Structure 1
Amino acid sequence: MSSAFSFGFSGDDIDESENNVEVKDKRQHLGQPSHQASSEEAAPVLQEATKIELDDILSSLPSQISYNTLPISDPTLWSYPIPIPRRDVFDIRAQLMAEADSETNSNETLIAGLEAGDITPAVYEGGFKTWESAIDLARTAAERLGPAFEDEVDDLDLIELGAGTAIPSLLLLRLFLQSSPKTTQQTRKINFILADYNAAVLSLVTLPNILLTWYTCCKNPEAESESELQIDSALLDSFRHDLSARGISLSFISGGWSPRFVDLIAPESNAKSLNNTHQTFILASETIYSPTYLRPFAETLTGLLRRRTRPVSGPAQNKARTRALVAAKKVYFGVGGGVDEFLETLKEIGGEDMHTQEVTMVLDQGVVRVVLEITV
């Protein structure tokens, strides 16, 4: 079995206060591994990229989920914290244990990773937790991409790679739902495409968090910050119909970075039909911690950017209608990954057409985190 990377977090999830991110119990910096990775190690065999249907995930939901709320503050953007509901970690653990097969040890690695905060490469990639860089990415995405969600003309594709708890997508979804109350059937289309290595993460936390965001924003704005959501067919039908009426669609992709992954998200046939009023935003956080994954991720990101960026004859800014925001620690001490290595790999793959700039930098207890904006 692959060795586990220990990111030093306890079984509890990140707790967001007004001004900083905290981790309950003992907190260490992300990137302190129990296993010293090296770029010379053989790459693990990855799960094949697979599309998962929304109805299949909805049918797997339990009749009740518990949740807490993550308030995201930014005085430059909002006068009050934006509440983002998330499924409780203990509730995820309970479902994993209930569905585990004792004979095949199914879910054993997922449960162990959830409890210890460890990552097992090519097996469990940490999607049940909310990492600090995801909060940085959410704030940056709201600032730089938020206005596009208020535009009533352009169709949008929002692609979150390594989504996990999907905090950046949840924040943008909530801002859109708050600013665009449903009146009539919308002709504008907004497609949320959420990808995580583990299909279990998409079904146990990504989709439940989207459902919670919709419920607390549209169905019950007075819902308590910590409570339980009762799920039945009537609620799920309302969820489907309301999102459809607002022009919102949801797609889910599991599996590793690969050409097939790119084809599932952005088929070449669809790319040819895009017009100049279509915008694509790609979000990713904590996806470059390991040298093993730097090149596959960079190739996947470059493939998506190029496939969604149409050559245009008009102003140069039209080309920037497809862009990516990538959040990460500047250096992952002891692991070998980091921003400099990623940029070198990206330039090697994308050449001079690849444009990057650092749009956010956070210094937290001696650890530097950044958000990069990337276009082609």
Structure 2
Amino acid sequence: MSFSFNFVPNAEHASTFVNADSSGACIEVGKKQPEKMNSWFSWIKQETAGSFFESFLQKEHAQNESIPLVPRQQQGVRTANDYILRVREESASFRSRNTDLVPGVYEGGLKVWECSVDMCRYFLSQNIIIDGHVLELGCGHGLPGIFILKQAILLSQQKPIDCCITFSDYNEFVIKDVTMPNVAINVQDTCSKRLDSVDGQQNIEHWLREHVTFGAGDWLVMSDTLFEKGTDSIALKQPKHPALPKDGLYDCILASETTYSETSAMETAELLSRHLKPGKGVSYISTKRYYFGVGGGTKCLCDALHKQKAHKFHIETLKVYDNGAGNIRELLLVKSLGPKS
């Protein structure tokens, strides 16, 4: 399976947006329309649709209501473009199934997983601010990454901040159908006053083009692409997105419920070993203590991290969520200690 970056057109290529289909062929996704395709927000609106939103954060921090997270819950079609219709059909197909995921086919990105909300609540309660290059693995609705993005935008009004975020998910239709709309809606909400002026909107859109990118596909292919080793990704046929780290290394990696099986836990550990900055990078991992029937969870991830040959890690449990009725959930902080001697 290939991995594709650069879902949103940059300023130089706003007239058309080229991506890869499942066969790796280039297809045209959107043609420029007068006074529309010049806008990052307008492009998002054209590619996506839906207006029913719901907040998943409790109001225990009412003083911070200015940074709500509003995941999208319904899909719709506002374009006749065949490609968009195909994305919608894929999305609708999995929405109608009575399953959370289909390993290797659909990795559950249409559902808002409770561990991602745990991470957002923790960031909010601790006033967590993350600078540098950030990667959200298995982002789905992208709530943790969006929280960090919104904080960066708010801080950028006071001082320059260099926060670049990569949202990645296994399924392209998840990126199209939920992640990108969520980013656009939350950014517009955060920047509503600055969007009142043309200059303000242009400045924000320029900032987004330079600091946010999206990717879909297999993690290990993504890893090779980040190191510019991949061979079947359309991303390599295009200029590297400015939001991607030049060396493929991230200051912070976010992951919620990517450890649901032994295989996924090992892949998460391998991605951290490959892409956390040695001796500097940190990762927030929100997971259930144990995933019954599939073998993943906290211990499985910790064991996989300790088995990594290239790097050492320090693992700290930041918070345990136990209501006495459901599965115990945990938020972990993983710090890279650098290469093993």
Q: Same fold per TM (> 0.5)? A: yes
| Structure 2 unmatched ranges of 5 or more | 10-16, 18-28, 30-39, 230-244, 337-341
Quick one: which amino acid aligns to residue 329 of structure 2? R
How far off its partner does 1:252 sit?
Answer: 1.3
Alignment match, 2:95: 114
Aligned match of 1:262 in 214, 223, 240?
223
| Structure 1 unmatched ranges of 5 or more | 1-46, 150-155, 222-233, 310-318
Alignment match, 1:370: 330
Aligned match of 2:63 in 62, 70, 79?
79
Distance 2:161 2:294 in 1: 44
How far off its partner does 1:171 sit?
Answer: 1.6
Q: Answer yes or no: is the 8 Å Cα contact 2:101–2:107 preserved in 1.
A: yes
Q: Answer yes or no: is the 8 Å Cα contact 2:109–2:138 preserved in 1.
A: yes
Quick one: which amino acid aligns to residue 118 of structure 1? D
Quick one: which amino acid aligns to residue 305 of structure 2? L
Q: Answer yes or no: is the 8 Å Cα contact 2:136–2:255 preserved in 1.
A: yes
Which TM-score applies when normalising by structure 1? 0.65
Q: Answer yes or no: is the 8 Å Cα contact 1:187–1:247 preserved in 2.
A: no
Aligned match of 1:244 in 200, 206, 212?
206
Shift in alpha-carbon separation, 1:187–1:348, aligned structure 2, 3 A = same
Note the 1:182-221 alignment, pairs <5 A.
188-219=161-192
Quick one: which amino acid aligns to residue 3 of structure 2? A
How far off its partner does 1:298 sit?
Answer: 1.8
Q: Answer yes or no: is the 8 Å Cα contact 2:3–2:222 preserved in 1.
A: yes
Shift in alpha-carbon separation, 1:65–1:96, aligned structure 2, 3 A = closer
> What is the CA deviation profile of residues 172-218 of structure 1, one whole-angstrom value per residue up to 9, with x for unaligned ones?
22233334427xxx754221111000111111111111110111121
Which TM-score applies when normalising by structure 2? 0.71
| Greater relative contact order, per chain length (Cα 8 Å cut-off, separation 6+) | 1
Distance 2:307 2:247 in 1: 24
Aligned match of 2:283 in 319, 324, 334?
324
Alignment match, 1:138: 120
**Identity score, percent:** 23
Distance 1:367 1:128 in 2: 21
Note the 1:27-46 alignment, pairs <5 A.
none
Quick one: which amino acid aligns to residue 194 of structure 1? F
Note the 1:1-20 alignment, pairs <5 A.
none
> What is the CA deviation profile of residues 243-298 of structure 1, one whole-angstrom value per residue up to 9, with x for unaligned ones?
4358951111111121x4224346699239x9xxxx71110001011223232222
Shift in alpha-carbon separation, 1:283–1:63, aligned structure 2, 3 A = closer
Q: Answer yes or no: is the 8 Å Cα contact 2:260–2:295 preserved in 1.
A: yes
Alignment match, 2:292: 333
Alpha-carbon RMSD across the aligned residues, in angstroms, is: 3.7
Alignment match, 1:358: 317
How far off its partner does 1:169 sit?
Answer: 1.4
Alignment match, 2:251: 280
Quick one: which amino acid aligns to residue 48 of structure 1? S
How far off its partner does 1:73 sit?
Answer: 3.8
Aligned match of 2:262 in 288, 291, 296?
291
Q: How many residues get paired?
A: 285
Determine if the alignment matches structure 1 residue 173 to structure 2 residue 127.
no
Shift in alpha-carbon separation, 1:373–1:296, aligned structure 2, 3 A = same
Q: Answer yes or no: is the 8 Å Cα contact 1:51–1:264 preserved in 2.
A: no
Quick one: which amino acid aligns to residue 105 of structure 2? V
